[in-house]
Amino acid sequence: GAGVSQSPSNKVTEKGKDVELRCDPISGHTALYWYRQRLGQGLEFLIYFQGNSAPDKSGLPSDRFSAERTGESVSTLTIQRTQQEDSAVYLCASSSGRIIHFGNGTRLTVT
C-alpha cells in the first residue's frame, strides 16, 4: 500500500467494553510500532515489533493493553475493559530501517 493504514479511523465505545484497533503497515516493513497520543500531548510509546523477535512491550500502561502481529504484516492493539483515560489517538507506525512512517491514527473515545 501507499502508507500505513489504520482502522477504524474513529471509535466510540462505552466504558468497560473491549476494543480492537488494526494496523496495516507498509509492505516489506519489518518494524511496527504503536504509540498513544492524548489530546494536546506527546507521543507515548506503547509497543514495538521487529521481525520475529520478541516484542518490546515496555510501554504498555497496564495489563488491559495487548498487541499482536501476524508475521510482518497486520497488527492489532486490544484494550480490554476500556476506561475514560484510554481516550486518545492511537498511532501505528512502521519502518524498514531508519525512517518511521506513521498512520493517520485511530481516535478512541470512551464514554
Partner 1 sequence: GENVEQHPSTLSVQEGDSAVIKCTYSDSASNYFPWYKQELGKRPQLIIDIRSNVGEKKDQRIAVTLNKTAKHFSLHITETQPEDSAVYFCAASIGNQAGTALIFGKGTTLSVSS
Which is closer to partner 1, CB of 20 or CB of 56?
A: 56
Give the residues lining the site for partner 1 (CB under 8 A): 31, 33, 35, 41-45, 48, 50, 56, 58, 91, 95-105
> Minimum Å distance from CB 96 to partner 1?
8
> Minimum Å distance from CB 59 to partner 1?
8
Q: Are strands 88-95 and 31-37 parallel, antiparallel or unpaired?
A: antiparallel
% helix, strand, coil for the chain, step of 5:
5, 50, 50
- For residue 88, give every residue at least 6 positions away whose Cβ sits within 8 Å of its Cβ, in sequence order, or none: 36, 37, 38, 39, 107, 108
Which is closer to partner 1, CB of 69 or CB of 82?
A: 69
> Minimum Å distance from CB 98 to partner 1?
4
Give the separation between CA 9 and CA 22, rounded to whole angstroms: 10
Which is closer to partner 1, CB of 87 or CB of 95?
A: 95
